Amino acid sequence: MLHLMSLVHYYIHLRGDGERREERADTHLSRDPEQTLSTDADSALVESDLMSDVDGVRVTQTDSAVPEDSLSEAEEKNQTDEVSGAPVDSESSNLEDRVRELEELLCEAHRECERKNKDRERAEEAYRILQSQYEETLKQWDELLMVCLPEAERKYEQAMETNAQLEKEKSNLMSRVDTMQGSMQQLGHILCETRTECVEAKRKYEVERKLHKYVQAELNKKKENRRENLRSLRESVAEATEKYEEAMVFIDQLEDENSKLKSDVETLQDSVQELDRELSVSRITCKETTRECDGAKQELRILQSECSEMKEILLKEREQELEAHNIRASQYDQMTLTHNEKLLKISLAEAEARYEQEKETNTHLEKEKSDLMSQVEKLKGTVEGLGELLSEKHSQCAEALLECSKTKSIQATIKSKEKTLEQEKESLKVSLLEAETKYSEVMKTNTKLEYQNSTLLFDLVGLQDLMRDMKRELSETKRTCNTALRECEQGRETSSILQSQCDQMKETLSDKEKSHMVALAEAVEKYNQAMESNAQLENEKSDLMDQVHKLQSRVQQLEEELSGTCRKCEEITENYHIGGVYSLINNRLSPGSVFNTWVRKVM
């Protein structure tokens, strides 16, 4: 920037020197045209060099100077693509190299300017000498000029016509030079502005680069935190899904168990209903058997009453037999012993035979009694009264048999009674057999009923235990189901919360991604616009360079034409050597003349 300011100051100083040179030209009326033209050409060359240098700086600066928006867009593009600011650094290095070159060029221009100033001073000294000589020769050539005035005037008119043409061309060239100077000034202003913009852009770039580093670090931290959060969320979601799957499997198992338990309960209810039916049937059969037992008890009571009546009858008959025996014994005492012995032997033999028969019958009866007692022992549970009556009957029968064994002598008289007793025994046996069959049937039915009742009770107890266990299991399963459902609800709530958080994170990420994408799209658009603007600037630069080259070539042509016109003027002055011409030239070189104005414009 300091170099640029020094360049501008030097240019202004040169312009000031040019103005002072114009003033000097105004004051020095008798100045040599060739010397003025050379000095003007030198100043024009310096100015053209400066213009070319400035134009080159402007061109390079336009190449490197990018607007602030394009720089920010390029920085955003570089931030997104993670590309460093190498292009800007290269451009800045190019600018610095160009500034160094311009400094060297300025130094060379300064040296050339000093050299040209020295040459100018030498030329001024030579001009003074020539001026003195010219004044001396003017005095000598006044007479000669008065002689060749008409021809000189004619030639002067021709020269004036050529000068008018040259002035027109000069005016055109000066207008072009003015336009070039204006463009050079504009380019100088643009160069200053671009330098300031470049400095500000560098400063902003450094600030934005630092901000970019800070933001990048923050973004990396946020990305790491977000990744850790995503990992933890994924792990928690995986755990929640695993717990949810386990809970669903456990719920399915519980539902299967509940279905099985429901089916078991239904089967148990069916079995309980069947058992209730069987119990009702068994109760009905029990009632029928109790009725039959009551009928059997009544029959036994009837038999007991009949047995008691028979006992009374037997006792009465025994008493009668004893009385008859006593009567017979008294009669036997009266008989003879032999006759008695014979009768006794016969009666004893008969009595022994009958006694043996009675023994056999008694043994048979005892066997039957033992069988009956075994049967009665079996029938003790429900028919205790009937057993007692039967035992009393058997005891009475045994006592009757004992009494019959004692009364062997009276067996003949008691045959009819024995027959009746046998008939009664047979009837009793038949009734006992019937009672035993009924009792056995009743006992069988009772045993069946008791077995059924026991099995039913056992089944009921088992069912009750099963029902209790099932109730416990159901309560436990309900508890586990409730806990599992609570856990599932908690898992669902956590999963819903996590899902909402994930959705929010996804929305934020999608929004950020969208914003990043929009920013990237905007950055790309801005970068494209910057590239287009750069391309336009490059095109404009190329056009300006072409125009500058054209102007330089045109200036060179004009300089050549000016040098040619100056040579023609010198030839004219050398050919005629007339003092009047010099006077006219001096008059033309007066402050109000056209040629002087042309020289001023050239200066």
Same domain flag for 323 and 450: yes
In a domain, 46, yes or no: yes
Q: Establish if 184 belongs to a structural domain.
A: yes
Q: How confident is the model at residue 19, as a pLDDT? A: 45
Residue at which a domain ends, from 462, 481, 500:
481
Residues 40 and 158 grouped into a single domain: yes
Percent helix, percent strand, percent coil in the chain, to nearest 5: 95, 0, 5
- Same domain assignment for residues 418 and 273: yes
Residue 242: inside a domain: no
The reported pLDDT for the residue numbered 451 is 66
Residues 6+ apart with CB under 8 A from 272: 463
531 and 462 within one domain: no
Within a domain: residue 494?
Answer: no
Q: How many whole angstroms separate alpha carbon 113 and alpha carbon 43?
A: 9
- Residue 421: closest CA among 511, 332, 510, 358: 358
Asked if residue 385 and residue 312 are part of one domain, the reply reads yes
| Helix-helix angle 415-576:33-64, to 10 degrees | 180
The pLDDT, as a whole number, for residue 320 is: 77
List per-block mean pLDDT (blocks of 10 residues) for the chain, which spans 603 residues: 51 50 44 43 44 40 43 56 57 78 82 82 80 74 65 68 73 71 69 72 76 78 79 72 70 69 68 66 68 72 73 74 69 57 61 65 65 61 55 58 57 59 61 60 60 60 60 61 61 60 60 59 60 63 64 64 62 53 45 46 45
* Domain count along the chain: 2
- Which of 455, 481, 507 is a domain's end point? 481
Task: Identify whether residues 148 and 55 lie together within a single domain.
Answer: yes
- Backbone phi and psi for residue 383, each to the nearest 5 degrees, phi listed first: -125, 55
Residues 276 and 345 grouped into a single domain: yes
Backbone φ and ψ of 67, nearest 5°: -60, 160
Q: Is residue 438 part of a domain?
A: yes
Q: What's the pLDDT at 39? A: 45
Question: Which two three-digit tokens encode residue 75?
Answer: 């920085």
Q: Are 307 and 396 in contact (CB under 8 A)?
A: yes
Residue 214 CA, chain-centre distance (Å), reads 28
Does some domain include residue 579?
A: yes
Question: Are 154 and 289 members of one domain?
Answer: no
Could you tell me if 457 and 543 lie in one domain? Answer: no
Contact 14, 47 (CB under 8 A): yes
Q: Do 421 and 549 lie in a common domain?
A: no
User: Looking at the structure, do residues 438 and 353 belong to the same domain, yes or no?
Assistant: yes
Same domain, 263 and 146: no
Asked if residue 227 belongs to a domain, the reply is: no
Of 414, 447, 481, at which residue does a domain stop? 481
Residue range(s) defining the domain that contains residue 569? 2-192+527-602
- CB burial of residue 257 (10 Å; 0-12, 13-18, 19+): middle
* Residue 485 burial (CB count, 10 A): 15
| pLDDT for 123 | 75
Residue 22, pLDDT score: 43
Q: Is residue 564 part of a domain?
A: yes
